[in-house]
Structures are given as structure tokens and as C-alpha cells.
Amino acid sequence: MFDKIVALLSDPAYELLVKLIYIAFILIMAFLAIKILKAIGKRIFKRASGGKKSLHLTFFEKIFNSVVTVAVIILAVSAFAGAKSVWTTVLGGTSVVLAVVTFAAQDVIKDFTAGLMISMYRPFDIGDRIELENGVAGIVEGITMRHVVIATTETFKEIIPNHVINSMALVNCSYGHDLRSVRLQFPVSYDTDVKLAKQLIAEIVEKNPHTVPGKKGYSQVYFSSYADSALMLSVAVYYEKTPTEVIKDEINSAVCEIFERNEIEIPYTYINIVDRKSQS
């Protein structure tokens, strides 16, 4: 019986089976370790943010998850090949690996550095409405080590690399307070009673069920500029979690209707074409 056990243990097939079981065990333990450590990190970052999504904490959570994944993978490989040989290989080839990675991943490094700068100085936060210099406008939904996610409508997302958005000028419509805001403009003809038009716009904004007062109450309606064929009236509208497109649609539609009832013209540009041949 003892001879059979010894023969079984020395069988190459048995040794291979033991190695496969060992590898499977290490992989399962590594997978569980990553899941558990990420869950612990998520709970810590959630507690640190007070339950509210924060840009810099979201970014550092992504870094933490990446570090955990890499560290567990290195430890798992160490269990296969031996810690000493793995670390000798890693440390011995550090300069070569660093040179290759730096050359091949320049955009990744730029995005990571820019993401770090954004998370530190926070020109915007998650939930803020921003308008970029390239015309993109929407709600900041999240940040990773590579990009910022901006919801432009209910179904469309703009994925912008960190180094690109970090170099752009932007308008933060939510900076310094929890409310979102959008500025709406309304053209009226030159013969319009401006005082009446401003009053009607203010009533529409205040009656809308989604709008709320800002820090100093509802914003005034301003006569902001002269256009080629119109007087431009503008107002800042404050709201909470309602999609910006809904706010624009409801207020623009209501203003259009009330202008029509009060015979206030919304002018438009038109061109007169003169046919000189027919005149001659």
C-alpha cells in the first residue's frame, strides 16, 4: 500500500495535477483578494465623501483599484515562480521596462497627470454642468485615469481625454454651489416693449416646476445686447437634477407661446434678392 502511494506521488501526471490545482487555487485567491480589497476601498472612499460623489475621491479610487490589481497579480506570479526570482526580474529590468512604457504610453501618462491635476484643483466636480470652449456642454458624470465622462443629453455621453479637457477653457455653471444653471437668450424685435418682455420671461422662469431660486433668488432678466435685427434678452435659470434639455425645452416653448399671445415678435434674418435683369 505504501509503495503504491509513493508510486502515485512520483507519477508525472499526478505532479501536473497538483500544480494545476495549486495554480487554480492561487488564481481564485487572487481574484477574491482583488474583489475584497476593491470593496473595502470603495467603502472607505464612500465614507470619506459622505455618500456624495466627489471628483478627486473618484479619481483616487481608480488609482487605488489599479494599484491593488497590479500588486495582487505580482504576488500571484511570485507564488508560481518564487518571490525572489520574480522581484529580481522586475527590478533588474526596471530601466528597460520604464523606457519602453514611457515611449509607448505617452498619452496614458499625459492623461494620468492631467487627471491628477484636475482632481487636485477641481475646476469642476461630479454633477456640475460645464460648457467647454469647443461647444460641448453637459453634466460631469465621472472621471477615470484616462478620461472625463460628460452627459450631453439623456442618451449621449462625451468621452474626453483628461489632458484635452485640462487644457481647455470652460464655464462651470455650478461652481461654488450645489445648483446647476443655464443661461437662456431670447431675441425680440426693436419695436418691442422691453419691460413687458422681461416681465413675461421672469414669470415663465419662476412658474416652471423644475426651476429654483439661486443664492440671491431668481435671476433678473437682462437686456444684454443689440443684435443685427433683434434686442437680446438673457436670464440665468437655476435647477437641481432635471436634465438641461428639459429645462430649455419647457422654458423656450412657454416663452414662445406667451410672446405670441402678447404679439411680441421674435425676429429672424432674411435676405432680399434683387434680379437686375428683370428690372431692366
254 burial via Cβ count (<10 Å: 0-12, 13-18, 19+): middle
| 133-147, 177-191, 266-280: the lowest-pLDDT one | 266-280
Whether 279 maps to a domain, the answer reads no
Looking at the structure, do residues 192 and 252 belong to the same domain, yes or no? yes
Domain membership of residue 8 as a residue range: 2-92
Looking at the structure, do residues 190 and 251 belong to the same domain, yes or no? yes
Under 8 Å between Cβ of 119 and 56: yes
Whether 113 maps to a domain, the answer reads no
pLDDT at 259 over 60: yes
CA 98 to chain CA centroid, Å, is: 30
Looking at the structure, do residues 196 and 249 belong to the same domain, yes or no? yes
Whether 227 maps to a domain, the answer reads yes
Looking at the structure, do residues 211 and 136 belong to the same domain, yes or no? no
The domain total for the chain is 3
Alpha helices per DSSP H over 11-141: 12-48, 55-81, 83-92, 94-104, 106-121
The predicted-structure confidence for 71-92, as pLDDT tens digits, reads as follows 777 777 676 655 555 555 555 5
Looking at the structure, do residues 237 and 167 belong to the same domain, yes or no? no
CA 248 to chain CA centroid, Å, is: 21
pTM over 0.75: no
Whether 210 maps to a domain, the answer reads yes
Whether 22 maps to a domain, the answer reads yes
Whether 275 maps to a domain, the answer reads no
Whether 99 maps to a domain, the answer reads no
Place of cell 522586475: 90
Q: Give dist(CA 48, CA 71) in Å, integer.
A: 24
The predicted-structure confidence for 141-163, as pLDDT tens digits, reads as follows 888 888 999 988 767 888 999 98
Q: Identify the CATH number of the domain in which residue 220 sits.
A: 3.30.70.100
Facing residues of 181 across strands? Answer: 238
Grid coordinates belonging to 113? 497627470
Whether 243 maps to a domain, the answer reads yes
pLDDT of residue 120: 83
Grid coordinates belonging to 97? 521596462
Q: Which of 172, 205, 235 is the last residue of a domain?
A: 172
Facing residues of 143 across strands? Answer: 148
Residues 6+ away with beta carbon under 8 Å from 63: 145
Q: Identify the CATH number of the domain in which residue 167 sits.
A: 2.30.30.60
- Helix pair angle (83-92, 94-104), 10° resolution: 60
